[in-house]
Amino acid sequence: MSGSRGGAGDGLAARPDTPALPASGFGAFVARARAAGALVVQPRMGMADPLRMRDGLRATRNADAVTVGTITLDSYTRTGDLAAARRALAEGAGLNGYPIATHSADTTRTVLRSVADGRFPVQVRHGSAVPEHIVRALLAVGLDATEGGPVSYCLPYSRTPLREAVAGWRRGCELLASAAEFGAEPHLETFGGCLMGQLCPPSLLIAVSVLEALFFRQHGLRAVSLSYAQQADPRQDEEALTVLGRLARELLPDVEHHVVLYAYMGVFPRTPGGATLLLQDAARLAVRAGAARLIVKTTAEAHRIPTVGENVRALETAAAAAAAERARPATGGVPGTHVGDTGVGDTGIEAEARALIGAVLELDADIGRALIRAFAAGYLDVPYCLHPDNAGRARSSLAPDGRLHWSNVGSMPIAGLAEGGPRPPILGSAGLLSALSHVQRTYDARAAAAPDAARPDAVAVARVDAGASVWADVGAGAETRIPPGTLRTAVRPRTPVTPSPPGTPVPPSTALPPGTPRTPRTPRTPLPSGTPLPPGTPRTPPSPRVPVPPAAPHGRTTPHDVHATTRVGTRHTMTTDRLTAAAPIPDPGRHLTAPTTRSALRIQHHLLLAARGFLREQGFTELLPPIIGPVTDPGSRGSKQVDVDFYGHRYKLMTSAILYKQASLLAFDKIFCIAPNVRLEPLETAGTSRHLAEFHQLDVEMAGATRDDAVRLVEELVVHMVGSAISELPKEFAELGRDVDAFTELLKGSFARIRHAEAVAELRGLGHPQSRDAELDWDGEALLSAQRDRPFFVTDYPKGSRGFYDRESPEQPGLLCNFDLIAAEGYGELCSGSRRTNDYAEIVTRMRETGENPQKYRWYLDLVREGVPGSAGFGIGVERLTRYVAGLDAVWQASAFPKVAGVVSP
């Protein structure tokens, strides 16, 4: 991109006119170039000064290559701050692109006049999460090609909520598509194959690129291109581009489309030789894998904004490298054929991409809503992306040979689909910095070792006159094919590029007379019945959405391993525990057969086996708890109880077995049970990662025990359960990608204790407004949890914050003898417990203080009056503990038949 100073727009001002739309569109131009055996190359270029922008476009048009033009917009326009763009132009301040919505339409039309036409289409590039104002501006000047996407121009580049970006891109697509009414074929390119630019494994790049193309199609576009960014290993990139092209042909059969490759978008080589080698490799890759267009970078990339001349040299270098690659018999193919479909290995990229696309398309027939739900559930998760709507659980690593691997797939439904072998470790800060500079180091070293290798390919360029050149075929729309093996560099008729002095007027183009009829859009031929199409495809009658057919190379299967919501506040990225939409739960068949579900439930099974064995050795008796009763625990924060008609009496489903545990001590001194509970949690909990409406607790109670006794028992029990699961189930932990080293500190025992008041002070120091008089709220728990590497206890909650059965401290009136066990890594509360009060008068007083009617608890109070022993105990959430141990993103993944607030499920 070239930088400039704005403010020269008046020099190009011209009288208003209405330009005719090009006779052929951007996509059709690229298709003709491909058929003629040429790779279309394109710069990144945008200057605020209209004269310099026009000169840049002219230079691009006149390069010795088949080129298309670029107008890259400035950051103010991208973010919609048009007032700032106007001020910058008025003050002559520098802008980093062309402010298309601030310059008058007449000025921009004059920039394009005598440059942009059917032989040289121009694309507007911008980076906006909400692009409607940009689409209006480009249509107003006669352009109809741009790029971006609701995901790719939201998550990496903005803080705009994904929901707003989807709505903005829906409006932008429909507005752009409306240009078809006037005879044009508007073109929209996905940016989904680029995302963070580097360190994103290919399957996710492919999936997002395809999903954005399907989104464009659903909202009226019939000409699209699908992007992919060059990464660090050419073999992996070639496989990825081949898969992208295959999926595009399969899922977009009625849409004009092509694949566009971006030259490497990460840390670029610092030496001119290294940068040239990388660009040449990108051009060769495009030819081998069948990409039709290449976005280039220059030798100045690592240092500054490139000049127009440097952009032109990059275009010509890439074109020469592509021509040389196409001329090689081993890789050259018949123009127009799908070069990448043969001779490419299969390492599981296609299986992963299909699984991701299929999982998203099954969430909703509306692809925009499906994308929102997919990110809320973590089905799509961009590594190292800090956007609030990104789960932030997925991580990637770079192998020594440059191949990208998943080190943690988070909740994405792709576990086990790629090539086998141990999963690489999650990168630390030093490893991440090293991976980011891998390409730069590699190519600079190659250039230093072989300086001559970086010179432009020495190819015999057949310069032909304009009437018979490849360019003539491309520009005129002819069907002439060049015989296989013919080497040509397409050259447009060259005209000298003379920079225009400021204020030089450009002859206006002829305006269309008022009332001139537009060319009607050609009706589309109906597709044959049975053609597989994505959601939103118009049919008669309308077709239901069709999932992406799974691929199973080398005997692998593609189970729909679809999982869960965003986990709160990991130690890597700290976010909140709330999502804007409920996490979708798959149907029971898919959920139960998913490998992650099976592994998680095996771990849960073993945790319970270990707990039973440990407690029995300690002299505990297991009881079967009741499911209904006249009363239940009133202390469940925010949740509602469920009433049932028990032969004319109103009973409750159990929210906790606490009262029955105390009563059971009349029979045994030490008891435990695995108790089912039902709590109608608030609807806002549906979008968290830690709440179920139906769950189980491992409930333990000991007669004559103190709080310290209960705390010690919890600590020993959890250490035993986790240690046993780790030693017995290594395969399951490996399948889940759960690093058992995360439990090194836990297995040492001796969990720390902090008082509630200390926890409040710590949270307030972190900027969290925690009340001194209430339980720790969900976000507070997550914040504390994310700061620690082993579980810890919070003790001494204030009186009034918990149920009437927690004993008040005789030494510290106003504080309770209770505790919570909080997991590490942002997983939050695992267990609650306390020393119980068994004093009748104290219990009745506490009931009245908390607004409870003692008459409801008559059976319980009668037992207390007769002499229920003092006790201490606790309850461990079985699903929450499973989630923590298995490293799941949501607690519902730890349930075979999950029930989430507001979500109707079996």
Q: How far apart are CA 703 and CA 835, in angstroms?
A: 10
Phi-psi region of 80 (alpha: psi -120 to 50; beta: other; left: phi over 0): left
616: pLDDT strictly greater than 90: yes
Fold of 26-326+347-408: TIM Barrel (3.20.20)
Residue tagged 């086990």 (tokens): 416
Q: How far apart are CA 227 and CA 244, in angstroms?
A: 9
Q: Which residues, other chains included, contact 199 with Cβ-Cβ below 8 Å and sequence gap of 6+? A: 266, 383, 384, 396, 398, 404, 432, 435, 436
Task: Describe the crossing of helices 272-289 and 308-327 by its angle, rounded to 10 degrees.
Answer: 50
For residue 730, give both structure tokens: 């290594």
Buried b (16+ CB within 10 A) or exposed e, 492-521: beeeeeeebeeeeebeebeeeeeeeeeeee
For residue 623, give both structure tokens: 């009881």
What are the tens digits of pLDDT across the range 830-862? 999 999 999 888 888 888 887 788 888 889 999
Reference 214, options 341, 370, 337; nearest CA is 370
pLDDT at 150: 96
Q: Which amino acid is at 149?
A: G
pLDDT at 341: 44
Domain boundaries, the chain: 26-326+347-408, 598-894
pLDDT at 184: 80
For residue 48, give both structure tokens: 């605020």
Buried b (16+ CB within 10 A) or exposed e, 768-796: bebeeeebbbbbbbbbbbbbbebbbbbbb
Beta bridge partners of 671: 621, 701
Q: How far apart are CA 169 and CA 175, in angstroms?
A: 10
Mean pLDDT score, 571-588: 42
Q: How far apart are CA 512 and CA 646, in angstroms?
A: 82
107 — pLDDT class (breaks 50, 70, 90): very high
pLDDT at 873: 95
Q: Which among 404-418, 521-535, 581-595, 613-627 has the top mean pLDDT?
A: 613-627
Judge contact between 521 and 183, C-beta under 8 A.
yes
**Structure-model confidence comparison of residues 329 and 109, the more confident one:** 109
Judge contact between 466 and 493, C-beta under 8 A.
yes
| Assigned superfamily of 598-894 | Bira Bifunctional Protein; Domain 2 (3.30.930.10)
Q: How far apart are CA 844 and CA 336, in angstroms?
A: 85
Judge contact between 275 and 266, C-beta under 8 A.
no
On average, the pLDDT of the chain sits at 80
pLDDT above 90: percentage of residues in the chain: 51
For the chain, the straight-line distance linking the first and the last C-alpha, in angstroms and rounded, comes to 55
pLDDT at 48: 93
Mean pLDDT score, 510-537: 33
pLDDT at 31: 93
pLDDT at 856: 85
The dihedral through the CA atoms of 719, 722, 726, 729 has a sign that is positive
Mean pLDDT score, 872-878: 95
What are the tens digits of pLDDT across the range 267-307? 899 999 999 999 999 999 999 999 999 999 999 988 888 99
What DSSP designation does 893 have? G
478: pLDDT strictly greater than 90: no
Residue 222, SS3?
coil
Residue 29, SS3?
helix
What are the tens digits of pLDDT across the range 207-249? 999 999 999 999 999 999 999 999 999 999 999 999 999 999 9
Reference 846, options 655, 635, 637, 636; nearest CA is 635
Looking only at Cα atoms, what is the longest distance across the chain?
109
What DSSP designation does 805 have? T
Residue 205, SS3?
helix
556: pLDDT strictly greater than 50: no
What are the tens digits of pLDDT across the range 173-208? 999 999 888 778 899 999 998 988 778 999 999 999
Q: How far apart are CA 595 and CA 561, in angstroms?
A: 6
